[in-house]
Structure 1
Amino acid sequence: MSEQIDPSEVADVPGRGGLVDTYGRIGDDLRVSVTDRCNFRCTYCMPAEGLPWLPKNEVLTFEEMTRLVRLFLSLGVRSLKLTGGEPTVRAELPKLVRMLRDLDPDVDISMTTNGFLLDRLARPLAEAGLDRVTISMDSLLRHRFQEMTRRDALDRVMEGLRAAEEAGLTPIKLNCVVIAGTNEGEVVDFA
């Protein structure tokens, strides 16, 4: 993209430039929520049903996201983290990754995902420029995984993890929400 940034759109932090908080810490990473939708219904995150989604016209387009990211890159952001909801449910996600990669070939681009759709998306995402993934996995026991996510999907998530590794989306990180009385006994299993 050849669109230039208007300097008036870029905030100037007196004396420092870039993004600096009130404690002097430099903000160099940006989380980009690509959707509010999710294909799981984790008990600690959302109700089983009845959650209203944003209307499509209220969700940023890829072009709008890219414009915002371009501004943040000009302020010193060096790391982009794609999140959601569940980012892989957003149609044409590899296209967004390619658009972001084209902004800066050196920016680090990662994604947090539940892994359910990675079996088919890992390679296209890697080819588009995604560097690595963080997979949310709260149990290695099928019944407990299903209880926590309300989806019988552990096998598919494990396939997604393998696909991510084969596609080179490494190092792979795991997120695990530990809930007393539910899965705290599995913490060592994740180590």
Structure 2
Amino acid sequence: MLIDNHNRVINYVRLAVTDRCNLRCNYCMPEEGIAFSDRKSLLSIDEMKRLCNILASRGVDKIRLTGGEPFVRKDVMQLIEHLSGLEGLREISITTNATLIGPYIEQLEEYGVHSVNVSLDAITPESFKRITRRDQFELVHENLMRLIESKIKVRINFIVLEGQNEEDIHHMLEFQRVHPVSVRFLEEMPFNGGSRNFKDLNWNHRKILEHIQKRYPSFEKLPAPLTSTSVNYKIPGHTGSFGIIPSFSRTFCGSCNRLRVTATGDLITCLYGKPVANLRDTLRSGLQDSFVEEALVRAVGSRAKDGFEAQDRFGSIFGSSMTSIGG
């Protein structure tokens, strides 16, 4: 079991399988993209399998595959198949932009994937194209509907972007009125790869909730695990639910149970901190698994209490892109 220096049990790892993405969302990176890592520096599928084995042996029972866009990586299904048979692993989840997932949905069901988070910040073709700089809304919508019809639990992650998609908030709530999905509205984070300056945040979690309440004055708060990053709600008569994730305000840090591993093997113990170790180098060194375990134990033994302490400790990382951090 992995227990940090604040007595928090770490049982959840977000593993980025690639730093590449086929969209160019304007809050994530410049239009020309960013300098992606050399392919040789990315963890191989076999290295990821070995790492996941080690993580599961130390009590990690939830692994979420992220990117970049996970399905840009052609061999990602080999990893998912491995995870489906990994003893001790309770939940396999994926975060995706849903452009490339279509051919794999039935297979993901067979492998027992628990949930898929679809990153979708627009519900109309026009706003989708404006934000992503790509004209693929119809494909995303088709794949989203197929996921909803599957046995996989579906969430939509919607980042509220000032001046870009506020008008879609209520449209998203109407979508979950008729479909069994959870729409989570996220505060914007400053990890945009230098695409623009990020001075402050107008649409924080309080303003998002107030905006929703003007149209839907009646809703109930839903119970959630202590480790949940979202505060979840149900509107009477709606099939789905909605939640708000204060990702910039960081009000959930006190119960954080997760680690991040980037596509190049960097271990990140807090989204607002810098890498504390590189697991790829240890995996490739020819050393036994125990050395990887030692690196994990050392890392969780000196975690920041919250994102603000991590930011103070490591300095600003706001010039990074979420696609390189690992979703």
TM-score (norm 2): 0.51
Q: Specify which of 171, 182, 188 is matched with residue 164 of structure 2.
A: 182
SS in 2 for 1:130: coil
Output one character per residue of 1:15-40: Cα deviation in whole Å (capped at 9) or x when no partner.
xxx21222211111110100000010
Structure 1 unaligned spans of 5+: 1-17
Q: Which residue of structure 2 lines up, in the alignment, with residue 101 of structure 1?
A: 84
Deviation at 1:125, TM superposition (A): 2.4
- Tell me by how many angstroms 1:110 deviates: 0.4
Amino acid paired to 2:43: L
Aligned-pair distance for 1:106? 4.7
Q: Determine the structure 2 residue equivalent to 1:42.
A: 25
Is structure 2 residue 12 aligned with structure 1 residue 24?
Answer: no
In structure 2, relative to structure 1, the CA distance for the partners of 1:148 and 1:50 (3 Å cut) is closer
Question: 3-state DSSP class of the match of 1:159?
Answer: helix
Identity %: 36
Structure 2 residue runs of 5 or longer lacking an equivalent are 174-327
**Partner SS state of residue 120, structure 1:** helix
1:113-166: CA deviation from partner (whole Å, max 9, x where unpaired) = 000112222122222332220000001111111000011111111111122233
Deviations 1:29-86 (A, max 9, x none): 1101000000100000112215222111111111101111111111111111000000
CA contact (8 A) 2:24 2:33 kept: no
The answer on whether the counterparts of 1:98 and 1:129 sit within 8 Å (CA) in structure 2 is no
The answer to whether residue 136 in structure 2 is matched with residue 139 in structure 1 is no
Q: Say yes or no: does 1:78 pair with 2:58.
A: no
Aligned partner of 1:165: which letter?
I
Shift of 1:105: 6.7
Runs of 4+ off more than 4 Å = none
Q: How many residues align?
A: 173
Match of 1:113 among 75, 93, 96: 96
Measure, in 2, the Cα distance between the counterparts of 1:50 and 1:80: 27
In the alignment, the residues of structure 2 paired with residue 128 and residue 181 of structure 1 have an alpha-carbon distance, to the nearest angstrom, of 40
Residue 94 of structure 1, CA deviation: 1.5
Contact 2:21/2:67, CA 8 A, preserved across alignment: yes
CA gap of 1:32–1:150, structure 2 versus 1, over 3 A, is: same
Alignment partner of 2:93: what SS? strand
Offset of residue 107 of structure 1: 2.2
Larger mean CA deviation between 87-96 and 77-86 belongs to 87-96
Distance 2:82 2:150 in 1: 19
More deviation, 114-123/141-150? 114-123
